[in-house]
């Protein structure tokens, strides 16, 4: 599993509340990603990081922010949760020296329900 | 950004038959094309990948072919078994991250 863990695994939250999901890795990999998975949409990229304090937006970044103050942790924050953000969230890391020559490993996923 | 289209969205085959899933893409700069398998309730896991300098790669019952000129790549599963039932995703490396297709739900009927 490339030493990647997500927390929490399940969460139910109310509309309008902030939520933070954590992705933790133990092997000092540079590249980390957050995806959301919804039926019929596959895995869509929310944000990604190339290293400490180096982050960028993916295709569905509205309503989300990220932080990476340490190599091992990549945090995803929903500033004010909405029902449309109910989804399964996967963190992933790329194992390799270059983004163009690498295999990705996924965390176990976090099932988030916004009520 | 990068775009990858995957077909079919669902596929049902009889045990022992072959299954083929196809993906097309638009970014000619892409040069790494992995395939992931996701079983129900589990995380996606890499099953095979191919790089742009290779036209075909095999690993036991699975194979991937790549046609860079036509910008499509395909996953082939032969002698399908019930344990092959899962959702399969194609992907490619975009400018900065993996971009995924929308997935194919494969059902192998015993």
B52-88 pLDDT, tens digit per residue, is: 888 899 999 999 999 999 999 999 999 999 999 999 9
Give B66 to chain A, closest Cα distance, Å.
17
**Residues A68 and A53 sit within 8 Å (Cβ to Cβ):** yes
Phi, psi (rounded to 5 degrees) for A83? -60, -30
Q: What is the pLDDT of residues A35-94, one digit of tens each?
A: 999 987 889 999 999 899 999 999 899 999 999 999 999 999 999 999 999 999 999 998
Q: In B15-71, where do the E strands start and end?
A: 19-25, 32-38, 45-51, 56-59, 62-67
Mutate which: A1, A48, A66, A100, vs B, most B CBs within 10 A: A100
Q: Which of A56, A104, A107 sits opposite B96 (nearest CB)?
A: A56
Assign B1 a pLDDT band (cuts: 50, 70, 90): low
Is A103 close to B46, i.e. CB distance below 8 A? yes
């Amino acid at each position: 599993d490339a030493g990647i863990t997500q927390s929490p695994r399940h969460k139910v939250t109310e509309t309008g509340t902030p939520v933070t999901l954590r992705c933790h890795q133990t092997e000092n990999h540079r590249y980390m990603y957050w995806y959301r998975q919804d039926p019929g949409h596959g895995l869509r990229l929310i944000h990604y990081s190339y290293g400490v304090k180096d982050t960028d937006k993916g295709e569905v970044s509205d309503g989300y922010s990220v932080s990476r103050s340490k190599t091992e942790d990549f945090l995803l924050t929903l500033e004010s949760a909405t029902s449309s953000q109910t989804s399964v969230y996967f963190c992933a890391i790329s194992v390799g020296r270059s983004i163009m020559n690498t295999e990705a490993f996924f965390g176990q996923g976090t099932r988030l329900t916004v009520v | 950004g990068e775009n990858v289209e995957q077909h079919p969205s669902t596929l049902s085959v009889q045990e022992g038959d072959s299954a083929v899933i196809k993906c097309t893409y638009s970014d000619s700069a892409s040069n790494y094309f992995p395939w992931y398998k996701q079983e129900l309730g589990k995380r996606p896991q890499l099953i095979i990948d191919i790089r742009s300098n290779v036209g075909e790669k095999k690993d036991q019952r699975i194979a991937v072919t790549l046609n860079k000129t036509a910008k499509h790549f395909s996953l082939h599963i032969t002698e399908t078994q019930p344990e092959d039932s899962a959702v399969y995703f194609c992907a490619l490396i975009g400018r900065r991250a993996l971009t995924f297709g929308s997935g194919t739900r494969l059902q192998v009927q015993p």
